[in-house]
């Protein structure tokens, strides 16, 4: 009699555990899918030396769910007059519920660009483009990633 009750309790506990994990996975996946970019902008390009410049930009992200989500990384490639000049990555941070602005900066060198591009940068008359992606993992109880959601973005600005 006690063995039969104990077996039923084990079965019920197992079902509750499986349902809890399934609900968590659904919430994590739906939250990750609901992340969106509300605004993206290059806030400035600043000379650090004759050859090195810093570009600052921001992404405003919206998380409409009441569930914080971890970002694997936000990557960015920097182009000046369609010439690749640098790249960067911001990894492992959380996006909280609501709308939040995240600021980034990267340093790039113009040494390997064409003379025409160098002159445009020095005259503050160059087109700057940042292309990247946000990689959001859907994690199983925070232990392993079973799926990724990618959100690409592109920002252009004449400096």
> For position 33, what pLDDT does the model report?
80
pLDDT in tens, 7-32: 888 889 888 888 877 777 777 777 77
Q: Which residue has the tokens 């609901």?
A: 34
pLDDT in tens, 132-157: 999 888 766 556 666 778 889 999 98
pLDDT in tens, 35-66: 889 999 999 888 898 889 899 999 999 999 88
Is residue 75 over pLDDT 90?
A: yes
- The residues pairing with 79 across neighbouring beta strands, listed in sequence order, are 84, 129
- CA dist 125 to 15, 17, 54, 110, 117, Å? 64, 60, 16, 14, 9
> For position 141, what pLDDT does the model report?
59
Q: How many domains does the chain have?
A: 1
Nearest of 156, 132, 155, 78 to residue 110 by alpha carbon: 78
**How far is the C-alpha of 70 from the C-alpha of 81, rounded, in Å?**
34
Q: Which residue segment(s) compose the domain that 99 sits in?
A: 2-158
Sign of the dihedral defined by the CA atoms of residues 73, 78, 84, 88, in that order:
negative
CATH code (residue 125): 2.60.40.1820
């Amino acid at each position: 009699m006690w063995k039969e009750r104990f077996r039923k309790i084990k079965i019920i506990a197992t079902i509750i555990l499986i349902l809890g994990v399934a609900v968590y996975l659904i919430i994590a996946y739906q939250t990750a899918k609901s992340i969106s970019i509300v605004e993206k902008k290059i806030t400035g390009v600043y000379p650090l030396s004759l050859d090195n410049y810093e570009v600052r930009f921001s992404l405003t992200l919206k998380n409409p769910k009441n569930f914080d989500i971890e970002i694997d990384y936000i990557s960015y490639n920097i182009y000046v007059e369609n010439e690749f000049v640098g790249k960067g990555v911001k990894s492992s941070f959380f996006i909280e519920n609501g709308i939040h602005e995240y600021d980034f900066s990267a340093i790039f060198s113009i040494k390997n660009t064409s003379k025409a591009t160098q002159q445009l940068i020095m005259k503050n008359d160059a087109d700057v483009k940042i292309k990247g992606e946000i990689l959001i993992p859907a994690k199983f109880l925070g232990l392993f990633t079973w799926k990724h959601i990618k959100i690409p973005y592109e920002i252009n600005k004449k400096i």
